[in-house]
Amino acid sequence: MTSVLALRGATTLDVDEHDHLMVRVTELLGEMLERNGIHHDDLISIIFTATEDVHSCFPAKAARMMGLGDVPLICARELDIDGGTPLCIRILVHFNSELGRAELRHVYLEGARNLRDDLPQ
């Protein structure tokens, strides 16, 4: 039976530059889809958040460049919390799957690796 699931992921930037952001977001989103066997037609929507120090481009642009322009995409600001991870981009993917929630493999790369050590990788 197919269910709607949500998958989390995050990465960080070394610098806030367009090309660097595109590489890191493409890497993260690609890894999220691959590790979980998610295909284009399984996707429902993708939400991207970025911390206040990211200004070079919209993270959703990387998804469009990956051929996901027909998937609803939205970008938003992450809360500006004291001690939060700087230059951080988070992704929340909604998709249809026959997997159970416990089978999901959330993806945290670069400086975001220790944001959620309680989730399976």
- Rounded CA separation 42/15 (Å): 32
Nearest to 89 by CA among 6, 11, 7: 11
B/e letters for 42-52, b = 16+ CB within 10 Å, e = fewer, are: bbeebbbbbbe
* Amino acid, single-letter form, for residue 118: D
Residues catalogued as catalytic: 8, 64, 75, 78, 90, 108, 116
